Amino acid sequence: MATVSEETAGTGGLVPPVQAGPAGTQRTVRVWDPLVRLFHWSLVAAFVIAWATGDEWQSVHETAGYAIAALLAVRIVWGLVGTTHARFSDFVYRPTTVVRYLLDTARLRARRYLGHNPAGGAMVVTLLVMLSVICGSGFLMTTDAFWGVDWVEEVHETAVNLTLVLIGLHLVGVFAASLEHRENLVRAMITGRKRRN
C-alpha cells in the first residue's frame, strides 16, 4: 500500500486528482474505485443474508453463497489488474511489517497509509481466504459425494465462526485507525475519497 508520499512517486511526480471540498474542509484524493466499493458493500450484504438464512431458508442461503463466490472471483482478478489501491501488490506486506504496524498502532503512533495499511491488507487477504473456504465447503455440501459428510459441515461452520471473529477484528481496526488518524474510513469506503494527508 502506498503512503501519501509514495503515491506521487510511482506516477512520475504527478499528483493524483484532487477535489476541493466546501470552504474550510480538507482536500481529498480518490482512493477506492467504484468496483472496490461495490464489491465491499455487496459482500457485506451477501454475507449477512447467507448468515441469517443458514438454518432457515436454504435456497436463499445457497444463492447468497454463489453471489459471494462470484464476488470473490471478481475481487481476485481486480486485485491483479485493477486500480492502484485495489491491487494486492499495493497492500500485501511481509508478516514482520504487519506486526510492526500493529505494535505502532498499540502505541498510537502508526503511520497513515492512503490505501490499506499493513494490518488492513492482511485482513483483506485473510477474509478472502476464509470466505473461499466457506464457499468451497458450502458447495461440497450440495453435491451427492459430500452431502451429509460431517467433516465438510464442520469445516463450513468453523470457517463461518472464524470469519465472524475476523469481521469483529476488522471493525475494531477500522474504528481504531479512524480515531488515530482522524478520518472516517467507513465514509471513505462509501465515497471512495480520503484526505490527501
Mean pLDDT, all residues of the chain: 87
Nearest to 129 by CA among 101, 88, 174, 183: 88
pLDDT above 70 as % of the chain: 87
* Residue for grid cell 465438510: 152
Q: Specify the pLDDT at position 2.
A: 41
Grid cell locating 194: 480520503
* Residue for grid cell 482512493: 31
For residues 72 and 37, the answer to whether their CB atoms sit within 8 Å is: no
In the three-class reduction of DSSP (H, G, I as helix; E, B as strand; rest coil), residue 141 is classed as coil
Alpha carbons within 13 angstroms on the beta-carbon side of residue 108 total 3
Grid cell locating 130: 476464509
Q: What is the pTM of this model?
A: 0.82
Grid cell locating 92: 500485501
Name every residue whose Cβ is closer than 8 Å to that of residue 139 and which is 6 or more positions away in sequence: 65, 69
pLDDT digits (tens, 9 = 90+) for 32-67: 999 999 999 999 999 999 999 987 898 999 999 999
Sheet arrangement for strand 28-30: 18-19, 28-30, 193-195
Helix (H) or strand (E) holding 180: helix 150-181
Q: CA-to-CA distance for 22 and 19, rounded, in angstroms?
A: 10
Phi then psi dihedrals of residue 194, to 5 deg: -130, 160
Q: Is the pLDDT of residue 22 over 80?
A: no
Phi then psi dihedrals of residue 41, to 5 deg: -75, -30
Please indicate whether residue 26 or residue 78 has the higher confidence score (pLDDT). 78
Q: Is the pLDDT of residue 1 over 60?
A: no
pLDDT digits (tens, 9 = 90+) for 2-19: 444 333 333 333 334 444
